[in-house]
Amino acid sequence: MKRLVLLAAAAFLAACQTPSASAPEPEPATEPDPPAFVEAACGGCHAVEPPFLSPNPQAATFEAIANREGLSQASLGDWLADAHNYPEVMDFDLTRPQVDQIAAYMVTLRRDDYRPEM
């Protein structure tokens, strides 16, 4: 009986030990991906994801827009939803869910160390 108790205790203790192999390293943070429709809707003019090279140099990159002082997800969403604010070339319809997805994605592009290009 004593031997059975010792074996049970040894098995219990072995089960409680952490494995000797080290835990895997966490994945490095990656840039968020834009919603699938954004490249088709906006990517013809704007750079929508890193490395932020705009096809149209006159169109601000999503990073530049996201890092504008005072911009919030709500104010960006309101601007995107209010089609009369668009330049003529941007005159297309977005659903409110699309607007919300674009605004939510764009605010993820904010950086504390962002400096506008001159």
Q: Which single residue is written with the structure tokens 């941007």?
A: 90
User: Which pLDDT value is given to residue 87?
Assistant: 66
User: Which pLDDT value is given to residue 64?
Assistant: 94
Residue 28 inside a domain? The answer is: no
| Nearest CA-CA partner of 102 in 113, 114, 90 | 90
User: Which pLDDT value is given to residue 66?
Assistant: 94
Local mean pLDDT, 10-residue blocks, the chain (118 residues): 46 47 53 82 88 87 93 92 67 84 93 85
User: Which pLDDT value is given to residue 116?
Assistant: 85
Q: How far is C-alpha 30 from the chain's CA centre? A: 8
Residue 84 inside a domain? The answer is: yes
The structure's pTM equals 0.66
User: Which pLDDT value is given to residue 24?
Assistant: 56
Residue 85 inside a domain? The answer is: yes
b/e for 39-69, b at 16 or more Cβ within 10 A?
Answer: eebbbebbbbbeeeebeeeebbbbbbbbbee
Query: Tokens representing 81?
Result: 């939803």
Please report, for the domain that includes residue 57, its CATH number.
1.10.760
What's the domain range around 69? 33-112
